[in-house]
Amino acid sequence: MKIYDTVKNLSEKKNISIYRLEKDLGFPNGAVSKWNRQIPNAVRLQQVANYLGVTISYILDLSRKDDKE
């Protein structure tokens, strides 16, 4: 699973859209969806993790775990 998919799943569990996440964090529209194609900036990933109440490690571990299955 890509980091974007992990962030999207975590957001959906909290009833937050990617659009809302980007808007609340002041990211440009579509910034998070680009994570399907590129590795996110560490600062932005930390902001997303804080917003969702998880750690960067948690997001990365979930992304890696699903890739192995």
- For 5-57, how does the pLDDT look when each residue is reduced to its tens digit (9 = 90+)? 999 999 999 999 999 999 999 999 999 999 999 999 999 999 999 999 999 99
Q: Per CATH, the architecture of 3-68 is what?
A: Orthogonal Bundle (1.10)
CA 42, CA 63: separation in Å to the nearest integer?
Answer: 15
Please give the model's pTM, rounded to 2 decimal places: 0.89
pLDDT at position 65 is 81
Q: What is the largest CA-CA distance in the chain?
A: 34
* Terminal Cα-to-Cα distance of the chain (whole angstroms): 9
Eight-class DSSP state of 41: P
Q: Which residues contact 63 (CB under 8 A, 6 or more apart)?
A: 1, 2, 3, 5, 6
| Domain extents in the chain | 3-68
Q: Centre a 10 Å sphere on the Cβ of residue 45 and count the other Cβ atoms it contains.
A: 18
